Amino acid sequence: MDQMFKVPIRNLFCLLSYVNDMPELIESLNDVDEDLITYDFIVNQFIKEVEWLHRRGFVKDYVEKQEGTNRLAGRILINESIPYLVGRKPVLVCEKDEYSPDILLNQVMKSTLQSICLNRYVKKETRKKSFMQLDYLHEVGEIQLTKKVFSQIYFGRHNVHYKRMIHLAKMLFELSLLSHKQGKWSLFSAELDEKALNGIFEKFLFHFYRIEQKAYRVSSEVLRWRLEGNTSFLPQMKTDVSLTHQNGVEKIIIDAKFYKNAFQENFGKSTFHSDNMYQLFTYLMHQKKGLQLRGILIYPTNGRVIDEKYQWSQNVWMEVMTVDLEGSWKEIHRRLMAVVYPEYTGERSEKLLK
């Protein structure tokens, strides 16, 4: 059975902001007390974006509309008109382009507002504000929100001001997916199983290091086994995050592992999970010679802070560390930045981050 992890909504919001390539959403909340960033708070941020877009004016575009009419307009659709003709009704189905707000961006906005109105995790006054915004979208149709719908959205000069609203809508959608799959949720925190959280955290680490530092090139590598024989039966070796320094010599391989306890118990003795250690060590042994290598296993905090380092050779190190996902976001950020900048204290320095 999967272990459950309790994570504050504010930290899930931060993780998903990086996954969705919108770290500026976090920066915009720098002056807000972290304890105030709840599920309801995020919903209110979305509603504020909707209110701002309404004041600015919703984007419109030409949309194909079909309607049965006794007045010819646009293109006549013969197949759709046949039932009317057979019934001897003076009606033809025509298709015409109509300049309308009933476009995908506004449909996502309306569908998100409707889901908020029905969401039991949202306060009554917040649901009321959401319901009031629906009045301004009476010309817009409702759609079923899916991951595919969000992947179909593209931004250009005429709609780039919708980007923040759409990303907030996407995060609310992802949080709602998780809430339906998991049991215990509240305005402040959520309990996620290790599989769900591991998938989010892997993507977060990749985008966090891609965005927050410039000294390393970030990738996810597929490594080839250095073995002769039928390789079709060998498992794939793929790193979660590979950081290659711009000097071409230093390299860091990061693997995120989610267990409630970073240790396994054998005959009363606590040791790190052997499978994880073997896997990371194998990744390191399949790197090019001459590199300065660091392999790092990252676990969630299990009640104690872990920072262990082990040396294989002059050039190869293995490390095991923990990150407290229940703690302050500022501390999570500082701890992860210290992986690539050991002297990092939490204060940004352009000289340091180059």
pLDDT above 70 covers a percentage of the chain that reads: 80
Lowest mean pLDDT among 123-127, 168-172, 198-202, 267-271: 267-271
Tokens describing residue 211: 């965005």
For the stretch 332-347, pLDDT in tens is 999 999 999 887 666 5
pLDDT band at residue 169, thresholds of 50, 70 and 90?
A: very high
pLDDT at 165 over 70: yes
Choice between 223 and 184, residue whose per-residue pLDDT is larger: 223
pLDDT at 6: 74
pLDDT at 115 over 80: yes
pLDDT at 200 over 50: yes
Matching residue, tokens 């998100």: 112
For the stretch 262-272, pLDDT in tens is 665 666 667 77
Lowest mean pLDDT among 29-33, 115-119, 264-268, 297-301: 264-268
pLDDT at 272: 75
For the stretch 294-308, pLDDT in tens is 999 998 775 678 889
The Cα–Cα gap between 239 and 220 comes to 5
pLDDT at 351: 45
What residue type is 317 in one-letter code?
A: W
Choice between 118 and 36, residue whose per-residue pLDDT is larger: 118
Choice between 16 and 312, residue whose per-residue pLDDT is larger: 312
pLDDT at 58: 94
- CA-nearest of 240, 263, 264 to 252 is 240
CB contact at 8 A, 198 and 256: yes
pLDDT at 267: 62
pLDDT band at residue 317, thresholds of 50, 70 and 90?
A: very high
In Å, how far are 145, 329, 335, 347 from 301, measured between CA atoms? Answer: 34, 14, 12, 23
- CA-nearest of 158, 139, 155, 164 to 59 is 158
pLDDT at 352: 45
pLDDT band at residue 35, thresholds of 50, 70 and 90?
A: low
pLDDT at 239: 93
Four-residue CA torsion sign, 34, 39, 44, 47: positive
For the chain, where are the alpha helices, taking DSSP H only?
A: 9-19, 24-27, 39-56, 78-86, 104-117, 124-134, 147-151, 163-181, 194-212, 274-285, 329-340, 350-353
Choice between 242 and 4, residue whose per-residue pLDDT is larger: 242
pTM of the predicted model over 0.85: no
Mean pLDDT, range 177-189, rounded to an integer: 63
Mean pLDDT, range 31-37, rounded to an integer: 70
- CA-nearest of 56, 55, 70, 140 to 105 is 140
What residue type is 72 in one-letter code?
A: L
For the stretch 146-163, pLDDT in tens is 989 999 998 998 999 999
Q: Hey, what's the torsion of the CAs at 320, 326, 329, 333, to 10 degrees?
A: 0
